[in-house]
Structure 1
């Protein structure tokens, strides 16, 4: 064969010499999200007639505060609100856009409300002014505002977009709780920016998270909140505050441990903690006193019992278990705290992940209902 017709020599196939066989490993996390995904509770007024938009918003947030329009605005002008709420298994994360309005949580509302939750708010746009006992806290983008629902307050806000955490006071029980002096405080600085960036990242990725992720998410948020607030509270070596935290931690643990016991009384707690009744009341003053605290948490325990499909006790038996001598008294106290009767739980068990439509009456889940249930789902 002529030299020019010869086929070029075959290129050898490269191969890798290795001492051990290759074992393929899939990237970690590819099989996640097999659990139920988080679903937001959404509220919007744009689909309502303009005169009905503000009344719908006012009713929607009535558990938090009474809302009012600015003097220059009428209901007929409309009130375009968009809000999404995620239940993080014991705390709520809100993302909302709302026009200017004023708000008030009166002393009477605080007295009859079981809510002692903390509001932790970051404004993306807008500005707000909130007054407690004549002391005004001004919030703006770049700051972190902390306010307790256990205290009366009033104020106003410009048109704004905000991220807010609503956290029951008991979530901080192992740390002694956030001191009452924390309420109506506005903080800034490096720690606040880290907290805000974490919140934004969390909100952005919530649609890809599941119920299985909630314990670690909640634990991290609580840690960051406390670490953000503590440096401002500990300046000057406040030994009295440290002592109060220790007492609060012991008191709350004793209450949780003996919640169903008939021996759990303010007098018994005073003896166990070796403090006076006056001192005990001061520890729980922000939530209306220790007797109110015990009563509310017993009712929350009753709610858990009634909502548990495996618990076969009657409503009367559940009432007796938490110290009520008659079904009528138990039902009255329960309805006053939750806004519905014990019998309604047995008839209509609800899911925290159901959707909410402002135009549908008697929706399975409402914002007010989620606020009430936070104490149950801790």
Structure 2
């Protein structure tokens, strides 16, 4: 890949995160803290293990991010506290070029081999173990993918096998895109992004039952999700009120949210996630726990506390106490600062209006 000084001024932004210039004893802790923008990671170190190494190069394609990552074997997790804390509403498409990963992706269990292409929904839990690896990851907002794939959450952990026609074609497309990504202009990246999301929708959506997930239903589901997010504090937000407001039957409403665990469960999950976010934000420190519970639609503090502990494995007060504990690493004192722009890109990634 070309150096930054060789790139034409209109080419897409590239962030290169490389720990190779840092002392070996500092690398893992820096990686663990940085990659927590997406995953919690753990590593088992055996006697005689090689020094930790990780490299992550990210191309910002405007509406999506494409990254190549290489590192040593480790565990990758997204559990309820992290999902609630970061609020990422993205999906990722990933293909391993070297190495494998095995794990639990929501209700699915599988081992992903080199060349398999798989889809992950970052609003759902995952617990995986990767060998030493090199992979390509495409990250895109759920709203963008949902326009072409209906309800992406249904496909959390779904793979396209490396020896299938769709898996081979999509995997090759991602690899070719990576080869040319550093030379793309912003306009070219925008056009390719539109084409790529169509391909993903076609390849992962093939064989779906139209009566089960029609395009109009997918569009209504996204509208409903936005409406719920905007009205979480309203105690009148119920399946009945939503059905009346959107003039749909309760049975149809329930069928739309069935992939998400049901409409009632979905509303409560979103309220709890919002509460977790507020509890861990410095700006919310003056608010009592009961006030935050009320702000997100709970009218009984005891019920809120029980539900919160069940969802996140900790009390609201414990969540508040860890909210300010994340200490950001800075590169002061190092001769070779680390490019960590990808972290901001992940947090700020939003779907464009195509």
Match of 2:13 in 1: 39
Question: Is 1:252 aligned to 2:222, yes or no?
Answer: yes
Q: Which residue, 345, 359, 375 being the options, matches 2:331?
A: 359
What is the CA–CA distance in structure 2 between the aligned matches of 1:193 and 1:134, rounded to whole Å? 25
What is the CA–CA distance in structure 2 between the aligned matches of 1:50 and 1:286, rounded to whole Å? 48
Deviation at 1:253, TM superposition (A): 4.5
What is the CA–CA distance in structure 1 between the aligned matches of 2:332 and 2:198, rounded to whole Å? 38
Match of 1:70 in 2: 44
The SS at the match of 2:17 is strand
Q: Contact 2:147–2:219 (CA<8 Å) still a contact in 1?
A: yes
Mapping 1:258-269, distance limit 5 Å: 269=242
Q: Which residue, 277, 284, 289 being the options, matches 2:266?
A: 289
Structure 2 residues without counterparts, runs of 5 or longer: 1-6, 275-294, 297-319
Match of 2:101 in 1: 128
TM-score, scaled to structure 2: 0.68
Q: Which residue, 184, 187, 196 being the options, matches 1:212?
A: 187
Match of 1:223 in 2: 198
Q: Contact 1:251–1:273 (CA<8 Å) still a contact in 2?
A: no
Q: Which has the larger radius of gyration?
A: 1
For residues 26-62 of structure 1, give each alpha carbon's deviation from its aligned partner in whole angstroms, at most 9, with x where no partner exists.
Answer: xxxxxxx986211211101111111111111111110
Q: 1:292 to 1:374 in 2, by over 3 A?
A: farther
What is the CA–CA distance in structure 2 between the aligned matches of 1:131 and 1:45, rounded to whole Å? 29
Q: Which residue, 30, 43, 57 being the options, matches 2:31?
A: 57
Q: 1:266 to 1:172 in 2, by over 3 A?
A: farther
Match of 1:326 in 2: none
Q: Contact 1:69–1:100 (CA<8 Å) still a contact in 2?
A: yes
What is the CA–CA distance in structure 1 between the aligned matches of 2:141 and 2:262, rounded to whole Å? 13
Deviation at 1:111, TM superposition (A): 3.2
What is the CA–CA distance in structure 1 between the aligned matches of 2:268 and 2:32, rounded to whole Å? 31
Deviation at 1:79, TM superposition (A): 1.2
Match of 1:317 in 2: none
RMSD: 4.0
Mapping 1:279-358, distance limit 5 Å: 281-282=257-258, 284-285=260-261, 289=266
Q: 1:193 to 1:52 in 2, by over 3 A?
A: same
The SS at the match of 1:156 is strand
Q: 1:280 to 1:142 in 2, by over 3 A?
A: closer
Q: Contact 1:121–1:163 (CA<8 Å) still a contact in 2?
A: yes
Q: Contact 1:127–1:139 (CA<8 Å) still a contact in 2?
A: yes
What is the CA–CA distance in structure 2 between the aligned matches of 1:34 and 1:46, rounded to whole Å? 27
Q: Contact 2:63–2:349 (CA<8 Å) still a contact in 1?
A: yes
The SS at the match of 1:289 is helix
Mapping 1:112-261, distance limit 5 Å: 112-132=85-105, 135-175=108-148, 177-188=150-161, 189-231=164-206, 233-234=207-208, 238-243=209-214, 245-253=215-223
Deviation at 1:269, TM superposition (A): 4.2
TM-score, scaled to structure 1: 0.64
Deviation at 1:123, TM superposition (A): 1.0
Q: Contact 1:170–1:177 (CA<8 Å) still a contact in 2?
A: no
For residues 197-232 of structure 1, give each alpha carbon's deviation from its aligned partner in whole angstroms, at most 9, with x where no partner exists.
Answer: 21122111122211111221111110111111122x
Q: Contact 2:15–2:339 (CA<8 Å) still a contact in 1?
A: no
Mapping 1:62-101, distance limit 5 Å: 62-72=36-46, 77-101=50-74
The SS at the match of 2:212 is helix
The SS at the match of 1:161 is strand
For residues 116-162 of structure 1, give each alpha carbon's deviation from its aligned partner in whole angstroms, at most 9, with x where no partner exists.
Answer: 32121111111110213564221112211111111111111111111
